[in-house]
Structure formats: C-alpha cells, structure tokens
Amino acid sequence: MLIGAVALVLCAYFGLRLTLAEPATADNGRIMVLRSWPLTKGRVLLILVSALSIYLPVLLILTVLVGIVSQAASAGITPPQHLDAGPALTGGLLAGMLSAGVLEPLLAGVFAYYYRHAKAPDPKP
C-alpha cells in the first residue's frame, strides 16, 4: 500500500511537471516534452490547484447527473440480473461529453495561459 501511494504521488508530480509539454509542442511545432520541464519549476502547486479547481466542479456535476439518470431509469433497488445497460451507457455518454466538451478545453486554456506566462530559468554561464 505504501508503494502504491508513493507511486501515485510520483506519477502526479511528473504529470504536473510535464503539463506544459502540450502547449509548448503546439507553439513550437516540434515535440517539446523534456524542454518544457523547466517551465513548471516552482509552479507545480499552482498548476495542481488550478487543475483541481476545474476537475472537482465537473466531477460533482457529473456525479449528480449520473445519479439522476440512474435513479430515473430504475425505480428503487433492482436485482443485479435485471439491471438495464441503458443508465450505464447514458452515464458514460454524459461523462464523455463533459470531458470532451468542458473539461479538456478548460484545462487546455489554463495550461496555455501558464505556458504563455512561464519564463524559463536563465541558463548558467
């Protein structure tokens, strides 16, 4: 369990440090994965808070919508052998629409903003 927690923290840290690779690649027309690493120096916490402030409301809205769809589709508790696939498919469709139509464009805008305002550290002489 400790190894999993450490791995999760490391993956989150590396993911946050590489968030500006996409806007840097789009801006320069070539792959800029490792060259974008210095741009996030000292900004990891700011990027994390920004991403969470976008993810959490969308996740809350999605949870409520899926709950409403599931409740409307089944009036009460339904035995597992009689469950309909409709609510699950509708929930998946809602999740995909919110992700592609709301979440990803908002995150792309935030990351592009940070990329535009990031200053690479001066190389040491």
> What's the pLDDT tens digit per position in 46-92?
999 999 999 999 889 888 887 777 777 666 555 555 656 777 777 77
Rounded Cα distance between 5 and 15, Å, is: 15
Token pair recorded at residue 103? 């979440």
Full residue range of the structural domain in which residue 98 is found: 2-117
Poorest-confidence range of 16-25, 47-56, 75-84, 98-107?
Answer: 75-84
Residue 8, pLDDT score: 95
> pTM score, two decimals?
0.75
Residue with more model confidence, 72 or 104 = 104
Weakest mean pLDDT among 26-35, 74-83, 87-96, 104-113: 74-83
CB burial of 11-24 (b: ≥16 within 10 Å; e: otherwise) equals: eeeeebbbbbbbbb
Inside any domain, residue 31: yes
In a domain, 125, yes or no: no
* Cα–Cα distance measured from residue 115 to residue 37, given in angstroms and rounded to the nearest whole number: 11
Do the domain assignments include residue 124?
A: no
In a domain, 95, yes or no: yes
Q: What angle do CA 54, 88, 65 make, to 5 degrees?
A: 40
pLDDT at res. 68: 79
* Residue 36 clears pLDDT 90, i.e. is over it: no
Mean pLDDT of the chain: 84
Task: Specify if 9 maps to a domain.
Answer: yes
- Considering the domain boundaries, does residue 79 fall inside one? yes
Predicted confidence at residue 4, as pLDDT, reads: 93
Residue 123 covered by a domain: no
Number of structural domains, the chain?
1
Cα separation of 3 and 105, whole Å? 33
- In this structure, what DSSP letter does residue 44 have? H
Tell whether 28 is covered by a domain.
yes
